[in-house]
Amino acid sequence: MRIVPIPCLRDNYAYLVICEATRRTAVVDPSESGPVLAALQREGVGLDAIWNTHHHLDHTGGNKELLDAYPELEVIGHVLDQGRIPGQTTFAGDGDEISLGDEVRARIIHNPGHTRGAISYYMPDLAAGRPEGQSEAGTIPSAAAVRPAIRSAIFTGDTLFAGGCGRLFEGTPGQMHASLSRLAELPEHTEVFCGHEYAAVNLRFAAEVEPGSKAVAERRKKVDQVRQNGQPTVPSTIAEERATNPFLRSQVPAVAASAQANESPANNSPVEIFAALRRWRDRF
């Protein structure tokens, strides 16, 4: 199994998921078709499925043209996104298992908050896979190219970002906090592939929230270097997010104190602190 990040639009990421045994391939969140078709050509594979994390146009905008090129595509999204995802053929729910070729099994995690039908695709058992980024010329080099094989991975769309989380367009702070808490409980080595390249600004915010955090300062430095080299910051890991992402840390006293000082939450519960952090980030 290999994961290939594809920069799209201004700061979106689509991803190819390739089962190397069978060459069957899915694309996660094709915001536009051009870069995806080019990546398929570079990799020498066809396309079998679209995995949409939610209905927003900057995650589904390429669906129609990809269906024109590959009319047999399976198009997966949450059942609540019925009528909102172009070409949707599979209406998934929390806990559903999907497969691709011999090597790829993914579990659907329903994480409402950004939108009501937002889902993540969690792949728990990838031990047999090869490190990503080791294909021929044209593949985007990423930090993962020099790391050992991925053991587990997740595509989080606009729910969990590197160092941040998505805005609350259709959900409540309580829903989003519960959704993010579920993701935070995944194994720490799980690699997180999110929908946008927002890591630098997210970590600038994290440093405002926790000015005394060495972990945030170190991650920020690393991310700034990666961006200066023009490389994607994905993937991160659940361990990194737990250590530095303020939206997974509303139970931490320093984070709660910072939210109290800046946004006056109604009380000190993790959900109210989360809501205050999200309001603060919205105007950051």
Q: Which residues bind Zn ion (CB under 5 A)?
A: 56, 158
Identify the residue whose tokens are 């931490």.
252
Residue 99's φ and ψ, nearest 5 degrees, are -135, 160
> Closer to Zn ion at the Cβ: 5 or 101?
5
> Closer to Zn ion at the Cβ: 31 or 139?
31
Q: How far is the CB of 195 from Zn ion (least distance, A)?
A: 7
Token pair listed for 194: 């999110």
Is residue 158 part of the annotated active site? The answer reads yes
Q: How far is the CB of 117 from Zn ion (least distance, A)?
A: 11
Q: Are 183 and 238 in contact (CB under 8 A)?
A: yes
Q: Measure Cα distances from 149 to 49, 146, 161, 209 in Å.
A: 24, 9, 22, 33
Residue type, 61: G
Q: Are 77 and 88 in contact (CB under 8 A)?
A: yes
Is residue 58 part of the annotated active site? The answer reads yes
Q: How far is the CB of 137 from Zn ion (least distance, A)?
A: 32
Catalytic residue, candidates 29, 48, 81, 158: 158
Kindly tell me the burial class for residue 259, based on how many C-beta atoms sit within 10 Å of its own C-beta (0-12, 13-18, 19 or more). buried
Q: How far apart are CA 140 and CA 133, in angstroms?
A: 7
> Closer to Zn ion at the Cβ: 158 or 240?
158
Q: How far is the CB of 170 from Zn ion (least distance, A)?
A: 10
> Closer to Zn ion at the Cβ: 56 or 78?
56
Catalytic residue, candidates 54, 55, 78, 177: 54
Is residue 54 part of the annotated active site? The answer reads yes
Kindly tell me the burial class for residue 263, based on how many C-beta atoms sit within 10 Å of its own C-beta (0-12, 13-18, 19 or more). middle
Catalytic residue, candidates 55, 59, 78, 177: 59
Catalytic residues: 54, 56, 58-59, 114, 158, 196
